[in-house]
A and B are shown apart, each in its own frame.
Chain A
Amino acid sequence: MPRREPKGETVRHSGIQRRQAVPALVLALCMAAPAGVVAGSGPPDDTGESLDADPALLAAALGSDSAEGVPDHVLAAIARAGTPVDEATLDKALECWAGQGCETGTGGDVTVALADGFGENVWREVTYMEFVLQALTYPEIGEIIYTSAQGDTQKAISDFRSLIALDVDVIATFPDAGEALLPTAREATARGIQVVPYIASLGGEPGSDYLSFVAEDLCQLGVNFADVLNREVGSGKVAFLGGTPGNPLSEAWQTCAEPELGADLELVGTADTNWTQEGTLQAVSGLLAEHPDLAGISYEYADGFLGGLRAFEAAGAEPNIVLTLRTDEIGVFCAWSELDNPDFKIFFSSGGGFDSRIALTAGMMALHGESVPAEIVVPAQMREVADSDCNPDIPSAAPASTLVPAEVLQAMYG
Chain B
Amino acid sequence: MTTAQRVDPGARGARVTGRVLGAAGFVPVWLVLAVLLVVAAVAAPNTLSQTSFSQIWPFATVLAVAAMGEMLVVMTGGIDLSVPSVITLVGTVLLGVGEGENSRLLPALIVCLCLSAAVGLLNGLLVGYLRLNPLIVTLAVGQIVLGFTAQYRTRIANESLVPPALAEWASGRLLGVTTLLWFGAAATLVVAALLNRSTTGRRLQAVGANSGAAWVAGIDVRRYTAAAYVAAAVLYGVAGILLAGFIRTPTLAIGTPYLLGPIAAVVIAGASLSGGLASAISTWGAAFVLTFLATMLRVMGLPSALQFVVFGAAIAAGMVISGDRIVGLVGRAMVGSRLREHDVR
A contact residues around B248 at 8 Å (CB): 310
Contact A311:B158 (CB < 8 A) given known A120-B251, A285-B295, A290-B44: no
B contact residues around A27 at 8 Å (CB): none
Which among B253, B298, B300 is the interface contact of A276 at CB below 8 angstroms? Answer: B253
Q: Contact at A311–B55, with CB atoms within 8 Å?
A: yes
Which chain B residues (244-270) contact chain A, with CB distance < 8 Å? 247-249, 251-254, 256-257
B contact residues around A323 at 8 Å (CB): none
In the assembled complex, A98 has its CB within 8 A of some CB on chain B: yes
In the assembled complex, B107 has its CB within 8 A of some CB on chain A: no
Closest-by-CB residue of B relative to A126 is B158
B interface footprint on A270-314 (CB within 8 Å = 1, 0 otherwise): 111010111001110111111010000000000000110011011
In the assembled complex, A396 has its CB within 8 A of some CB on chain B: yes
- Cα-based distance from A246 to B157 in the complex (angstroms): 30
B contact residues around A283 at 8 Å (CB): 298
Which among A121, A310, A397 is the interface contact of B247 at CB below 8 angstroms? Answer: A310
Contact A121:B251 (CB < 8 A) given known A272-B304, A289-B51, A314-B54: yes
Which chain B residues (140-175) contact chain A, with CB distance < 8 Å? 150, 154, 157-159, 171
Q: Contact at B51–A315, with CB atoms within 8 Å?
A: yes
Contact A245:B253 (CB < 8 A) given known A289-B52, A289-B295, A290-B299: no
In the assembled complex, A331 has its CB within 8 A of some CB on chain B: yes
- Cα-based distance from A194 to B298 in the complex (angstroms): 42
A contact residues around B52 at 8 Å (CB): 285-286, 289
Which chain A residues (161-198) contact chain B, with CB distance < 8 Å? none
In the assembled complex, A159 has its CB within 8 A of some CB on chain B: no
Q: Contact at B298–A271, with CB atoms within 8 Å?
A: yes
Closest-by-CB residue of B relative to A311 is B55
Which among A272, A277, A315 is the interface contact of B50 at CB below 8 angstroms? Answer: A315
A382 CB to nearest chain B CB (Å): 25
In the assembled complex, A395 has its CB within 8 A of some CB on chain B: yes
A contact residues around B54 at 8 Å (CB): 285, 311, 314-316
Q: Contact at A120–B304, with CB atoms within 8 Å?
A: no
In the assembled complex, A414 has its CB within 8 A of some CB on chain B: yes
In the assembled complex, A269 has its CB within 8 A of some CB on chain B: yes
User: Size range of the interface on A?
Assistant: 35 or more
In the assembled complex, B196 has its CB within 8 A of some CB on chain A: no
A contact residues around B49 at 8 Å (CB): 289
Which among A282, A317, A396 is the interface contact of B55 at CB below 8 angstroms? Answer: A282
Which among B55, B158, B249, B304 is the interface contact of A125 at CB below 8 angstroms? Answer: B158
- Cα-based distance from A185 to B158 in the complex (angstroms): 32
Closest-by-CB residue of A relative to B303 is A270
In the assembled complex, A386 has its CB within 8 A of some CB on chain B: no
Q: Contact at B249–A277, with CB atoms within 8 Å?
A: yes
Most buried by B among A269, A289, A313, A317: A289
In the assembled complex, B42 has its CB within 8 A of some CB on chain A: no
- Cα-based distance from A414 to B156 in the complex (angstroms): 9
- Cα-based distance from A290 to B54 in the complex (angstroms): 13
Which chain B residues (34-67) contact chain A, with CB distance < 8 Å? 44, 46-47, 49-52, 54-55, 58-59
A405 CB to nearest chain B CB (Å): 18
A contact residues around B294 at 8 Å (CB): 282
Q: Contact at B55–A281, with CB atoms within 8 Å?
A: yes
- Cα-based distance from A277 to B44 in the complex (angstroms): 25
Our count of residue pairs bridging A and B at CB distance below 8 angstroms stands at 100
Number of residues on chain B facing chain A (CB within 8 A): 37
Q: Contact at A413–B159, with CB atoms within 8 Å?
A: yes
Main SS at interface, chain B: helix
- Cα-based distance from A274 to B253 in the complex (angstroms): 9
Closest-by-CB residue of A relative to B251 is A276
Closest-by-CB residue of A relative to B248 is A310
B interface footprint on A116-148 (CB within 8 Å = 1, 0 otherwise): 000011100100000000000000000000000
Closest-by-CB residue of A relative to B308 is A245
B contact residues around A288 at 8 Å (CB): 51
Which among A245, A269, A271, A277 is the interface contact of B251 at CB below 8 angstroms? Answer: A277
Q: Contact at A414–B157, with CB atoms within 8 Å?
A: yes
Which among A125, A270, A289, A317 is the interface contact of B299 at CB below 8 angstroms? Answer: A289
- Cα-based distance from A33 to B47 in the complex (angstroms): 66
- Cα-based distance from A287 to B49 in the complex (angstroms): 12
In the assembled complex, A268 has its CB within 8 A of some CB on chain B: yes
Q: Contact at B247–A289, with CB atoms within 8 Å?
A: no
B161 CB to nearest chain A CB (Å): 10
Q: Contact at B247–A281, with CB atoms within 8 Å?
A: yes
B interface footprint on A369-392 (CB within 8 Å = 1, 0 otherwise): 000000000000000000000000
A contact residues around B344 at 8 Å (CB): none
Which among B50, B157, B251, B254 is the interface contact of A413 at CB below 8 angstroms? Answer: B157
In the assembled complex, B18 has its CB within 8 A of some CB on chain A: no
- Cα-based distance from A413 to B305 in the complex (angstroms): 37
B contact residues around A271 at 8 Å (CB): 298, 301, 304
Most buried by B among A121, A125, A276, A285: A285
Closest-by-CB residue of A relative to B304 is A245
29 A-B contact pairs sorted by A residue (CB < 8 Å): A120-B150, A120-B252, A245-B308, A246-B304, A246-B305, A269-B301, A271-B298, A274-B253, A274-B256, A276-B251, A278-B254, A281-B55, A281-B247, A282-B59, A282-B298, A283-B298, A286-B295, A289-B49, A289-B52, A289-B295, A290-B299, A290-B301, A311-B55, A313-B171, A314-B55, A314-B58, A316-B51, A317-B51, A413-B159
Given contacts A274-B256, A307-B247, A397-B158, 20 further A-B contacts (CB under 8 A): A98-B154, A120-B150, A121-B158, A121-B251, A125-B158, A245-B304, A274-B253, A276-B254, A278-B247, A282-B59, A282-B298, A286-B299, A310-B248, A314-B55, A315-B54, A316-B51, A395-B159, A396-B159, A397-B157, A413-B158
Chain B residues engaging chain A, CB cutoff 8 angstroms: 44, 46-47, 49-52, 54-55, 58-59, 150, 154, 157-159, 171, 243, 247-249, 251-254, 256-257, 294-295, 298-301, 303-305, 308
4 tightest Cβ-Cβ pairs between the two chains A and B: A286-B298, A289-B52, A245-B304, A285-B55
